[in-house]
A = this chain, B = another copy of it.
Amino acid sequence: MAKKDLNIGIVGYGFMGRTHSNAFLQAPRFFDLPYRPVLKAVCARNTERAKGFAENWGYQSIESDWRTLIERKDIDLIDVASPNDTHAEIAIAAAKAGKMLLCEKPLGRNAAEAKAMLDAVEAAKVPNMVWYNYRRVPALALLKNLLDEGRFGRIFHYRSQFLQDWTISQDLPQGGEGLWRLDSSVSGSGVTGDLLAHNIDMALWLNGPIAEVSAMIETFIKERKHSLTGKMEPVTIDDASSFIGHFRNGSTALFEATRYARGHKALFTLEINGEYASARWDLHDLHRLEFFDHRDEGRLRGWKSIHITDSDHPYMKQWWVPGLQIGYEHTFIHQVADFLTALGKGEEAAPTFRDGLAVDYVTDAVLDSAKNRQWEDVRA
């Protein structure tokens, strides 16, 4: 089949630059897609690094200024994989230049930025997507299907956590090269935008809108040495963030994200309790879905651990054989595959910038509630 080329320009070469690039290369080898991503250019201020990155992943060229990149006629799509403080400016300009847009999450550092980004892509009518990659974990895609089929009945509870422990040491500096997630001027917030945003996007997708929240945030270590200035400075990010709340469907919300939970590396968890069934999942064993069905014969009811590696599980027919697990990177591959498939049909691939904005409305409400010490409604 004659496949069309889709020319990609990526901004950023960090952790996310790697996952995206790998996804662009791998998706067409495992999925039958109408487009073939062509790695046209990587853009980064540090030319040496950009060069090494381009060599490794096979980008045909490098750019040092994203403004130049978005002006290039041979680029169809801009992938924004740079730090959060650059998302809005680049995405808006790229949309104006008529480029399709993929953007790392969170979409903006706050809802105001995200709203401007959404307005730009909608005005420009360009395909757009946010890299909330966990929607493409096969176990969670299966859970979404089960929910859509009405197998859970009325939902009573939804709870979700994202637990890490990598910033506990007093000696960890803040800000600077590779550490921009610790600098709120760059990142917008700490765990709220970095981790809790994942919990929220997943919840909105699986369980619908959140109506209201009562939240608290914590900064356990108040001062850290800045990696660039060498001076002790107040820590401006939140180390932990949690909230109780309500979804619009009447179910309760219980959310927590932290980088101070010893023993947990990237423990994204979720559980949903419905009238007839419950399910739970976590990222440390992402290839499993735990499922409980109350309609099972009484004495044989129990939590079932489903090993999501069969050909009738979402995405898995394209991979290996039953029992052989895939991993983290595959969520990005699936997202590229879905994006390109949708593009071929002229359809949107969620999460779009509109979905990204919905997450930022919740994280804004969380941060406001924590600051104001009161319940806050979530904007819609």
Chain A residues at the B interface, C-beta cutoff of 8 Å: 15, 19, 22, 25, 29, 56-57, 142, 156-157, 159, 163-166, 168, 214-216, 218, 220, 240, 242-246, 250, 252, 254, 256, 258, 260-267, 273-278, 283-287, 289, 291-294, 296, 298-307, 309-310, 312-313, 319-330, 373-375
Contacts and interface: CB of A to CB of B under 8 A. Distances in A.
The 3 A-B pairs of least Cβ separation, nearest first, read A266-B323, A265-B323, A263-B292
A210 B273 CA distance: 28
B300 A291 contact: yes
A260 B300 contact: no
A18 to B, nearest CB: 8
Contacts of A29: 22, 25, 56-57
Contacts of A56: 29
Contacts of A262: 156, 273-278, 292, 294
A260 B244 contact: no
A222 to B, nearest CB: 11
Number of copies: 4
B321 A266 contact: yes
Contacts of A245: 216
A38 to B, nearest CB: 14
A351 B296 CA distance: 32
A261 B157 contact: yes
Contacts of A330: 327
A320 B18 CA distance: 9
Nearest to A142: B299
B261 A273 contact: yes
A327 B26 CA distance: 15
B307 A305 contact: no
A159 B256 contact: yes
B326 A328 contact: yes
A168 B275 contact: yes
22 contacts: A15-B320, A156-B220, A157-B256, A157-B258, A216-B245, A216-B252, A218-B252, A240-B252, A242-B252, A242-B254, A243-B244, A260-B273, A262-B274, A262-B276, A265-B307, A291-B300, A291-B302, A299-B313, A302-B304, A302-B305, A327-B330, A374-B374
